[in-house]
Amino acid sequence: MSAETGTPRSPAGASRPHLRSITTQGWRRGFAPLLRKELGQWWGTRQWLVQAVTWLVLINGVVGMVMLTDPSEDPVTLFLLLGMLTTAIGVVVTTQGAIVGEKQRGTAAWLMSKPISRSSFLLSKLGGYATGFWALAVALPAVVYVVESLAITGSSPGVPLLAALALWALHVLVYLALVLALGTLFRSRGPVAAVGVGTILAGQFFGGMVPLPVVTVLPWILPDLASAVAHGDAVPVSIPVVVAANLTTVVVATGVGIWRLTRQEL
Amino acid sequence: MTNDDWTDAIVTRGLSKVYRDVTGLDSLDLRVPKGSIFGFLGPNGAGKTTTIKLLLGLTRPSHGSATVAGRDVVADSLGVRQRVGYLAQQPQFYDHMTARQTLRFTARLFFTGPVDAIENRVGEMLELVGLDDMADRPVRGFSGGERQRLGIAQAQVNDPELLILDEPAAALDPLGRRDVLEVMRRLRDRTTIFYSTHILDDVERVSDTVAILDGGRLIAQAPVDRLLHGDTTSYTLTVHGSGDDQASLLRTRPWVTGVSIATTDDLATLTVAVDDEGAADSELLRTVLADGQTTVTSFARSRRSLEDLFIDLVQEEAR
């Protein structure tokens, strides 16, 4: 037997006592093992550490520095606006290859040769990445922010911050669904990243020019809304409408992604 | 016929795939008998991988239909994939996973059950392909041969009724090829194996039936022996001299259908086509040696190589 290619030794027994074939049909087939795989990629590798350090440095590091050096700056607003902008860009950068990369490498074709639905493939990615970002790019910086706020200023933002964090989580979800859908539409990462980052920057530069009724249904309004909510300020839009509109965007983007994926040759 | 009462592992009827203006597969009618090792031959671009993708539901047919293990590949794609194992031409896995994790993940796509039962199944597969001693190493460090063996293990993890292998030995060194062919032989009793290849030597070594595809069209399908021997068998013998006397003598025999002579120096090589192998086996050499003068330096039944046949068929198709 060579070192590289050993001769197989004994044939395996064909028996598989106690194992039951999965008989689930339809769009959910394969979702649970695929989600476990996605979560394993976040939590079973060093990815969680890289993400955690990245967000702590980018968000809490900057906010902490500002709190120490410029007491006149509103730390809650800075924390939310900076955090939501950077995590949105982080979602695009991290997720741009989630679908395209699997198509290019051939792992998507390998998976789809197994009895799983294509909707499970996409939804498991949405679930896995959302969980990772919510935990490491939203919840962890928020906890650290509360601690550093107490340590530096002696006060913390309190309960309204939780509502703002929920809007932040929605912001992450919208861009995540968008980038995953883009991954089903394009064959390479470039257009996915360009459209994703372009959408975020367009909100930064042109968001103020868009009429209020229109911007209500876009994710661009979410950072300002989160900041207002954290301060307990009155807001010029209906928060339930904004939330419903952005959740609709998530559903539509995911639906388009699944529709495209089911018609695509892998 | 019920879904589970099938005799052909694969049946395709007019299966076609058209990409814009290019025909990837043109009205393929294929029948792969249950229990066979079926070699699917063809030059690059012949449509082999397209056929496999259609069978696995990785793409949809433009026309025609196909069943795998009695199930329609479009209407019951999940049912098909539940019963099939697939090894891609260049198998790709998640690099951060070990071989054991890869097989565990794959097994969980097919089965539920206690952790021990899954682990036992994974252990059996690792042993089957000889990867048990590197089971806990990340796949990213695997050589091509090791990756291929892991590919066979994951394809077999569900005890499939049909194993589809796309060019399983194409990228391997001779030892890797030997190992893969050996695993295929081991699996012969358990499952039907349908594999594409352009390595004709491998086909002759392990297949019992072959189909040859070219330009998206099926140009031949038959058991290997019948394809190689055709309807007539020929023998070659080399004698001293011109060979004319021996050729004349042989032509008088009723089981001889033709004799051709090629001479070099003082030797003549006679190619004798016969339609009765039994008669030829017992009488041909005796007939030539009957005069007591002839010296035969070599004698053999000639076997047409699959390579010759393949080239002939493809060139004929091109014309």
What is the complex's ipTM, to 2 decimals?
0.86
Chosen for mutation from A45, A110, A124 (greatest number of chain B CBs closer than 10 Å) is: A110
List of residues 6+ apart from B311 with CB closer than 8 A: none
Interface of B with A in 289-308 (CB under 8 A): none
User: Which tens digits make up the pLDDT trace of A59-116?
Assistant: 999 999 999 999 888 999 999 999 999 999 999 999 999 999 999 999 999 999 999 9
Amino acid B1: pLDDT: 47
Q: In the numeric block, which tokens belong to residue A45?
A: 């590798």
Give Cα B166 to chain centroid, integer Å.
11
- Mean pLDDT over B119-128 rounds to 94
Give yes or no for B109 touching A (CB within 8 A): yes
CA distances from B221 to B16, B61, B225 (A): 18, 21, 12
User: Which tens digits make up the pLDDT trace of B237-266?
Assistant: 999 988 999 999 999 999 998 888 888 888
Q: Are B105 and A35 in contact (CB under 8 A)?
A: no
Q: Which of A37, A106, A115 has its CB closest to that of B90?
A: A106
Hey, are the CB atoms on A16 and B116 less than 8 Å from each other?
Answer: no
Hey, are the CB atoms on B108 and A112 less than 8 Å from each other?
Answer: no
Amino acid B311: pLDDT: 75
Amino acid A240: pLDDT: 94
Q: In the numeric block, which tokens belong to residue B215?
A: 């330009």
User: Which tens digits make up the pLDDT trace of B66-95?
Assistant: 999 999 999 999 999 999 999 998 899 999
Q: Which of A2, A33, A109 has its CB closest to that of B109?
A: A33
Q: Which of B53, B79, B120 has its CB closest to that of A265?
A: B53
Q: In the numeric block, which tokens belong to residue A19?
A: 């194992």
Amino acid A9: pLDDT: 34
- Backbone φ and ψ of B239, nearest 5°: -130, 160
Amino acid B44: pLDDT: 86
Mean pLDDT score of chain B: 89
Hey, are the CB atoms on A265 and B172 less than 8 Å from each other?
Answer: no
Distance from CA of B206 to the nearest CA of A (A): 17
Residue in chain B closest to A14 (alpha carbons) equals B159
| β-strand partners of B164 | B86, B194
Hey, are the CB atoms on A22 and B175 less than 8 Å from each other?
Answer: no
Residue B164's H or E segment, with its range, is strand B162-166
Assess whether pLDDT exceeds 60 at residue B285: yes
Count CB neighbours of B72 within 10 A: 14
Hey, are the CB atoms on A112 and B56 less than 8 Å from each other?
Answer: yes
Amino acid B263: pLDDT: 85
- pLDDT: is B284 or B301 the higher one? B284
Amino acid B84: pLDDT: 96
* Beta-carbon pairs below 8 A across chains A and B: 138
Hey, are the CB atoms on B53 and A114 less than 8 Å from each other?
Answer: no
Q: Which of B112, B129, B156 has its CB closest to that of A22?
A: B112
What is this structure's pTM?
0.83
Residue in chain B closest to A105 (alpha carbons) equals B92
Assess whether pLDDT exceeds 70 at residue B235: yes
Give yes or no for B22 touching A (CB within 8 A): no
Give yes or no for B113 touching A (CB within 8 A): yes
Amino acid B229: pLDDT: 65
Q: Please tell me what DSSP assigns to residue B141.
A: G
Amino acid B310: pLDDT: 76
Distance from CA of B223 to the nearest CA of A (A): 27
Q: Which of B78, B90, B96 has its CB closest to that of A115?
A: B78
Amino acid B107: pLDDT: 97
Q: What percent of chain B has pLDDT over 90?
A: 56
Q: Are B162 and B83 in contact (CB under 8 A)?
A: yes
- Mean pLDDT over B99-104 rounds to 97
What confidence tier does B275 reach under pLDDT thresholds 50, 70, 90? confident
Of B59-68, B77-86, B126-135, B178-187, give the lowest mean pLDDT range.
Answer: B178-187
Hey, are the CB atoms on A5 and B190 less than 8 Å from each other?
Answer: no
Q: Which of B58, B82, B187 has its CB closest to that of A21?
A: B82
Amino acid B144: pLDDT: 84
Chosen for mutation from A1, A10, A16, A46 (greatest number of chain B CBs closer than 10 Å) is: A16
- Regions of chain A where pLDDT drops below 50: 1-14
User: Which tens digits make up the pLDDT trace of B57-74?
Assistant: 999 999 999 999 999 999
Q: Are B110 and A21 in contact (CB under 8 A)?
A: yes
Q: In the numeric block, which tokens belong to residue B171?
A: 């990228």
Hey, are the CB atoms on B130 and A11 less than 8 Å from each other?
Answer: no
